[in-house]
Amino acid sequence: MSADPPTSPSSAVVYPRWLRISHWLNALAVPLMMGSGWRIYDAAPLFAVSIPREVTLGGWLGGALQWHFAAMWLLAGNGLFYLTVNLVGGRLFRRFFPVSPRGVLADAVLALRGRLRHDDPGRYNQVQRAAYLFATLDLVVLAMSGLVLWKSVQFAVLRDLLGGYEAARLVHFVAMVLLAGFVALHLVMVALVPRTLPRMIRGR
Amino acid sequence: MPRPKTDAARPDAGSILKEARKLLAPRLAEPSRRTFLGSLTLGGVAMLSGCSLNDGDQVERALAAISRFNDRVQGWIFDPDALAPTYPAAMITRPFPFNAFYGIDEAPAVDEAGYALEVSGLVADKRGWRLGELRALPQVEQITRHICVEGWSAIGRWGGVRFSDFLKRVGADTGAGYIGFKCADDYYTSIDMATALHPQTLLALTYDGRVLPREYGFPMKLRMPTKLGYKNPKHIRALFVTNSNPGGYWEDQGYNWFGGS
Ligand code: HEM
């Protein structure tokens, strides 16, 4: 636990502008992708469940596909931007590491007891680190499996890596469910610790 | 005239239909809608700008423009030498599902005796082709995966004339942009020239070693494992080579035109 930046006073910028823009673009792209994806899923459900029409986007399959294949540019472009800036500047390593199963567990226990401190906005606790890293990775898996579903002939290496077209369908679906889980938890956490919200809007 | 899509058919329609039902049951009775923004949910449009329904047109136009952009991107990604995977006979989906914008009983019955494939547009030789003549050309066969725009897929075995051979034989202008197809069920669609010349693109005359049955598109289907199901026309009556995009039955309603995989 050495490389952490010094404690930031509450007035310091904890979320640079590029990050905030990227976060809110992502928060727009994800519901668009998920809502339209649910409508596409309903056209030929993999499982016995269908998604209620009221929460889907696009109205019919063709409309949902148009939304999905439009919002994918926003999701992918913004995601690449986020990853690039995070990696190049080294923020990814400063902000999200170290992270360990034990640390995550310890912080989770503290959080459940209501004793996890939030007074240093410049640092993520281990639960946050794990959750945000998970969301990022999961979005990468969603994008990769989506590429296979879209272009299974052209992206042959990726297709074989995922075990073929039908397997990619399953991967895409499971990754979607996991992301939905993350978003739900994320929103509950924001509701529980509402002072993080203006921070993500104004940066400090 | 586009007919409403009703996959539900009568109980006597046989095992193909049963299989199709099993595969596709959850999406039966799916309405196709041309104006989908009227029923847009999730407050999707409202979320974008808090806009009223009048702005729906603008959103629809923007989505259509992005879809055309995606056509170009797919044309650019398309590798004329990349082959779709082929499968052993044991992996064929049996029975192969029936899928069309109408029920299996309504699939058109084309009479072979009176049939000749019309060929027109930018080709040197515009005479019609009888089925016997097409069967006399060199035949190839392949077992490939058919991927539907709805997400499901099935493996089938198609045989027939390599389409690029046919195009050469009729002296098609392969520098032209598009090939359009008109079908006996009033379906129509069109493809890009690069896909038309792809080695796995077949003018399919057989299915699983038999003459292509009515439910799978007799007398012929253009089979392209590099494109989604709706791009693979069945019951082809006429084809033409052109430089202006002829669109398609589903494409004109909003499905992506390139529809490649
Ligand atoms: C309207 C919905 C959303 C709200 C209100 C919201 C709110 C927030 C807030 C307040 C933070 C800062 C949290 C903190 O200080 O611990 C944050 C960070 C984050 N959120 Fe969201 N969020 C939303 C949607 C999403 C979605 C859909 C995703 C991804 C699927 C997402 C992924 C993330 C990630 C990865 C971070 C960490 C960013 C970083 O530091 O690099 N958020 N969000």
Q: Which amino acid is at B29?
A: A
Could you tell me the residue ranges of all domains in chain B?
7-77, 89-253
Q: Residue B260 and residue A151: Cβ atoms within 8 Å? A: yes
B25 shares contact with chain A (CB less than 8 Å): no
pTM score of the predicted model: 0.87
Residues of B in contact with A68 (CB under 8 A): none
According to the model, what pLDDT value does residue B171 have? Answer: 98
For B84, the closest chain A residue by CA position comes to: A153
Taking residues B60-83, what's their average pLDDT?
97
Ligand 1 atom with the shortest distance to the CA of A179: 30
Q: What is the pLDDT of residues A159-196, one digit of tens each?
A: 999 999 999 999 999 999 999 999 999 999 999 999 99
Q: How many whole angstroms from A23 Cα to the centroid of ligand 1?
A: 6
Q: How many whole angstroms from A129 Cα to the centroid of ligand 1?
A: 12
* Mean pLDDT of the residues in chain A: 92
According to the model, what pLDDT value does residue A135 have? Answer: 98
The answer to whether B2 and B249 have CB atoms below 8 angstroms apart is yes
Question: Quick check: B111 pLDDT over 90?
Answer: yes
* Mean pLDDT of the residues in chain B: 86
Cα gap B241→B38, rounded to integer Å: 37
- The band of A147, judged by pLDDT with boundaries at 50, 70 and 90, is very high
For B47, the closest chain A residue by CA position comes to: A28
**What is chain A written as a DSSP string?**
---PPPPPPTTS-SS-HHHHHHHHHHHHHHHHHHHHHHHHHHHS-SSS----GGG-SSSSHHHHHHHHHHHHHHHHHHHHHHHHHHHHTSHHHHHH-S--HHHHHHHHHHHHTT------TTS--HHHHHHHHHHHHHHHHHHHHHHHHH-TTT-HHHHHHHTSHHHHHHHHHHHHHHHHHHHHHHHHHHHHSTTHHHHHHH--
For B257, the 3-state DSSP assignment is coil
Locus of tokens 């080709």:
B123
For domain B89-253, say whether CATH 3.90.420.10 is its number. yes
Asked whether A87 lines ligand 1 (CB < 6 A), one says no
What part of B 147-166 touches A (C-beta under 8 Å)? 147-153
According to the model, what pLDDT value does residue A119 have? Answer: 64
Question: Quick check: A53 pLDDT over 50?
Answer: yes
Option in A35, A40, A62 nearest B44 (CB): A35
According to the model, what pLDDT value does residue B41 have? Answer: 46
The answer to whether B241 and B176 have CB atoms below 8 angstroms apart is yes
